[in-house]
C-alpha cells in the first residue's frame, strides 16, 4: 500500500510512555509518508545534557528554562549537534533519559520549548511523538494516537534497543533495573504539574504489547485513511 500526499498540512500526534514504541512508529510513518518528524523527547534530553555540560543542577529551574530558550542545537542528516558537538548517541543513554524526565517536569522548560516544537509542523505533514503532543503541543492535531504496552514489555524493548545501538549496558542497565526505572518514570511523567502524561480525550489508544512494529504502523495508516488524511492505494 502506498500513501499519497495529503491535500493540506496534517499533524499526527503519537504519545505514550517510555518504551511504548512511539519513536519507532513515528519514524516509520514519517519515512513512509515523506513527512517531517518531531522527536520531542530529544529536545528534553538535549536540555538535560546541556545542563549537565554547564554544571547546572537538575532542580535549578530558572537556569534550565533560560538554557532551553537559547538551546544551541542542530539536526543535520540524522545527527544531533549540541553546541557544536555530535551528541546523537549520548542523548540516548539511560542516564540522559532519566535526567530528561526530571527536566521535562519543569513548567518553564516546557514553555520554552513549546514554540520550537510547533515550528516543526511544515508541509506536507508532521508526525510528532512525545508525551503531550496531543494534549498540549498540537491539541488540534487531525489524528491523535496514544500507545501503551506493559511495563515488562517496555523494559525488554529498551534493553534490546541499548544492545542493538551498542550503548554500554552495565550493571545499572540490567533488565530488572530498567524495569524499575520505567515504572519510576511513568509515575513521574503522569504526576507532574505541567502537561502530565495522559491520553487526549479524542485519542485512539493502541496496546502494542503483543503487536509488531509493522502491525502498529498499518493500524495507524488505517486510522489516517479513515480520517481522510491520506488516500491509500493498493499496488499490485
pLDDT of 92: 87
- Paired with 82 in beta bridges are 73, 85
Q: Which pLDDT tens digit goes with each residue over 62-101?
A: 999 999 999 999 988 778 999 999 999 999 888 898 899 8
Alpha-carbon distance 109 to 211, whole Å? Answer: 34
Q: Which pLDDT tens digit goes with each residue over 189-214?
A: 899 888 899 999 999 999 999 999 99
Give alpha helix (H) positions in 73-172: 94-103, 107-118, 151-164
Hey, CA dihedral for 167, 172, 176, 182, is it positive or negative? negative
Output the pTM of the full model: 0.85
Q: Which three cell numbers stand for residue 231?
A: 488516500
Q: Is the pLDDT score of 181 beyond 50?
A: yes
Q: Look-up: residue for cell 491520506?
A: 230
pLDDT of 94: 81
pLDDT band at residue 160 using 50, 70 and 90 as cut-offs: confident
Across the chain, mean pLDDT equals 89
Amino acid at each position: 500500500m502506498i500513501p499519497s500526499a495529503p491535500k493540506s498540512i496534517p499533524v499526527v500526534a503519537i504519545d505514550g510512555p517510555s518504551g511504548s514504541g512511539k519513536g519507532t512508529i513515528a519514524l516509520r510513518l514519517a519515512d513512509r509518508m515523506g513527512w517531517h518528524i518531531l522527536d520531542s523527547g530529544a529536545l528534553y534530553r538535549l536540555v538535560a545534557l546541556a545542563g549537565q555540560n554547564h554544571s547546572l543542577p537538575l532542580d535549578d529551574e530558572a537556569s534550565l528554562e533560560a538554557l532551553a530558550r537559547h538551546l544551541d542545537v542542530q539536526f543535520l542528516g540524522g545527527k544531533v549537534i549540541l553546541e557544536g558537538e555530535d551528541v546523537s548517541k549520548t542523548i540516548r543513554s539511560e542516564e540522559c533519559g532519566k535526567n530528561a524526565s526530571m527536566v521535562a517536569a519543569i513548567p518553564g522548560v516546557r514553555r520554552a520549548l513549546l514554540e520550537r516544537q510547533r515550528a516543526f509542523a511544515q508541509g506536507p505533514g508532521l508526525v510528532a511523538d512525545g508525551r503531550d503532543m496531543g494534549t498540549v503541543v498540537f491539541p488540534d492535531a487531525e489524528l491523535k494516537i496514544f500507545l501503551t504496552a506493559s511495563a515488562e514489555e517496555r523494559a525488554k524493548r529498551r534493553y534490546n534497543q541499548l544492545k542493538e545501538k551498542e550503548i554500554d549496558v552495565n550493571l545499572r542497565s540490567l533488565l530488572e533495573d530498567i524495569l524499575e526505572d520505567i515504572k519510576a518514570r511513568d509515575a513521574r511523567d503522569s504526576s507532574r504539574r505541567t502537561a502530565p502524561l495522559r491520553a487526549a480525550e479524542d485519542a485512539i489508544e493502541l496496546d502494542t504489547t503483543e503487536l509488531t512494529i509493522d502491525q502498529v504502523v498499518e493500524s495507524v495508516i488505517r486510522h489516517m485513511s479513515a480520517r481522510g488524511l491520506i488516500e491509500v492505494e493498493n499496488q499490485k
